[in-house]
Structure 1
């Protein structure tokens, strides 16, 4: 039976002591509210479904996200952790004042719809994938709070929320003239690293972070392979090198200006702490593509280009995924875009074989 007493401040405190359950109490404005809460909690205890909600009612989304960023995000890949900081910033701005217990599916659905209707600084709508990442972070936050932090919640309110569709994959391909102009421009850059990195991306399909993070012992020129230990999906893989890629790596490894304080192939200047980190080329890449009139060309499109060329060369889906590191065939196909004019030639060849 609950004990209900009036406090010196005029509120009503309900205290429940029941064998097998932790002592539970809560303060209310009226005695009736205290009595109603006590009956509900005692009923849940009898049925064995009681959840102590005090922590979830006190912890706000802002507090929970800050704890998540401090404890969980550092265990992920650096690029993922950095992305989560941006997602958390927007979630805190819009939902930060809600408690974990108060954030309902209705509130989250409204947040999703408003975000999708927003315009960015470039006057373009917020992408579906941006909102998907924000909702994914929020969902994992709830799972972590329930499973690891011991926060009393009846469930994850995002489980039945409709997620925005991922949208169509990008189909940006390099034409022969664009490739020639791009190579000429990167070769003319003051730092030869830029030209080598661009060529390696087109030849191997490696991500920019995978290329710039390479160390000398990861490249085996004799066997013509690169060993990637730390990848986006968490799996290591071996990347075969074409003759062109092998020649580029030979030039990069033989670069005469190589400091003794780093094993990175593509290194930057020492930071304030005296340590060298991977070469950062994003700023000069943006300036270069603007000069070439290719502002719509992202560096990641070079990975798309490489994967599409692997398929056009006749490699199977399994062979291509082994090179690119895609875990699912569905994701691989989102990255593969074959030119219709090239497919026409292939169809003609098949027709000739049948007739012959």
Structure 2
């Protein structure tokens, strides 16, 4: 109970010259703090002090001073200090903050953010024509930033991002090519990219992985591709040669034996003899940058000619993943082949079944043989070239 001077066991209450009452109390760190607001009577102030005491006892108290930091400043530091973010992820996060979050909520102190405010922000952007998919990404980023403020920095008592379904996106189904269509697409590409398209699809490789392959990574006797590196583009545009996207990305992938003649021809015609030579490069020998690939390869024209004008390069990997899944292997083995992380990433990385991976390659080999056999029967003319060489596909 307070004494005549307003003191009590936890904190104290004092009357201000204005006639209102202010509370003062020690935080969990022992530092004395003034209450964030004043109260009309002493009993009301004492009740507020009791509430704060209970919050500190239960570990639910948040420092009102820290809640004054602006969202824009906190989010910027969050991205900068977040460990293990890939350069492209950093670029995406900063774009979402710059274009969709900071202009609307950046000047709001963290402690003032509310679910109603977040709901209004989302509704305003939807009203301005922002796509549901883009807003779902922005919402998930905002939710992650504020979750750190709740769980790690003890700035907020709870996350104001509490809108059901706001972080969910339902992108359109991506197109999947058949093996026949993939061969047709490869045939529409420049000669030096014929094997590039096929290997990307049949080995389920990411763009950064396939462009970083070196001659030493292809074992054409064992029919495997070793993924050890990947090119990553920094926000500045600089290409960085480094490890794959995740630990699970370090992998050896079996490929159909039917691709071996195609790859041998490519290595003979377009790749330097050194073991470290890049397998796929531009016409002048430089790494294939994603930013100018469409123009360099004539991608838009090629996909239009096979009747798939909306096809993206990533759909090659998507198609390969779909074919691999049809081989009937387990989810664990399939994810190991694709280089995906999961809650059991370590288990996947260490115990992926080699036999299952070879089963995938064998199943793909049968499909590839059907296409190549059809080409051989359609072109017995000696001018068609040696078996496995690139041939026009009708």
Deviations 1:86-140 (A, max 9, x none): 22222212221122222222222333344445436xxxxx143x33322222222
Task: Specify which of 141, 161, 169 is matched with residue 158 of structure 1.
Answer: 161
> Is 1:283 aligned with 2:292?
yes
Q: CA shift at 1:198, angstroms?
A: 1.6
Deviations 1:239-268 (A, max 9, x none): 1122244445545655666598x7654457
- Counterpart contact for 1:219–1:226, Cα < 8 Å: yes
Within 5 Å, give how 1:250-289 maps onto structure 2: 250=264, 258=272, 264-266=278-280, 278-285=287-294, 288-289=298-299
Query: Distance in 2 between the 1:33 and 1:211 partners?
Result: 71
Task: Specify which of 240, 264, 267 is matched with residue 254 of structure 2.
Answer: 240
Q: Between Structure 1 and Structure 2, whose CA radius of gyration is higher?
A: 2
Q: Mind listing any 5+ residue stretches in structure 1 that lack a counterpart? A: 121-125, 271-275, 329-341, 343-356
Counterpart of 2:207 in structure 1 is: 208
Q: Using CA pairs below 8 Å that are at least 6 residues apart, which structure has the higher relative contact order?
A: 2
Query: Distance in 2 between the 1:17 and 1:289 partners?
Result: 67
- Counterpart contact for 1:203–1:244, Cα < 8 Å: no
- Counterpart contact for 1:55–1:151, Cα < 8 Å: no
- Counterpart contact for 2:13–2:45, Cα < 8 Å: no
Query: Distance in 2 between the 1:257 and 1:11 partners?
Result: 85
Within 5 Å, give how 1:142-157 maps onto structure 2: 142-148=146-152, 150-157=153-160
Counterpart of 1:52 in structure 2 is: 62
> Is 1:68 aligned with 2:51?
no
Deviations 1:159-196 (A, max 9, x none): 564335432662413367754552233225xxx2x433
Q: Mind listing any 5+ residue stretches in structure 2 that lack a counterpart? A: 1-6, 229-242, 343-366, 368-394
- What is the DSSP-based 3-state SS (H/G/I as helix, E as strand, rest coil) of the residue aligned with 2:175? coil
> Is 1:315 aligned with 2:328?
yes
Q: Count how many residue pairs are aligned between Structure 1 and Structure 2.
A: 308
> Is 1:185 aligned with 2:179?
no
Decide whether aligned partners of structure 1 residues 42 and 254 sit closer, same or farther in structure 2, where only a CA change above 3 A counts. Answer: farther
Decide whether aligned partners of structure 1 residues 176 and 285 sit closer, same or farther in structure 2, where only a CA change above 3 A counts. Answer: same
- Counterpart contact for 1:53–1:101, Cα < 8 Å: no
Counterpart of 2:118 in structure 1 is: 108
Within 5 Å, give how 1:7-22 maps onto structure 2: 14=22, 16-18=24-26, 21-22=30-31
Counterpart of 1:335 in structure 2 is: none
Decide whether aligned partners of structure 1 residues 324 and 162 sit closer, same or farther in structure 2, where only a CA change above 3 A counts. Answer: same
- What is the DSSP-based 3-state SS (H/G/I as helix, E as strand, rest coil) of the residue aligned with 2:298? helix
Q: Which is further off, 38-47 or 236-245?
A: 38-47
Decide whether aligned partners of structure 1 residues 141 and 206 sit closer, same or farther in structure 2, where only a CA change above 3 A counts. Answer: same
TM-score, structure 1 as length reference: 0.69
Counterpart of 2:236 in structure 1 is: none
Counterpart of 1:346 in structure 2 is: none
TM-score, structure 2 as length reference: 0.63
Query: Distance in 2 between the 1:278 and 1:32 partners?
Result: 71
> Is 1:170 aligned with 2:173?
yes
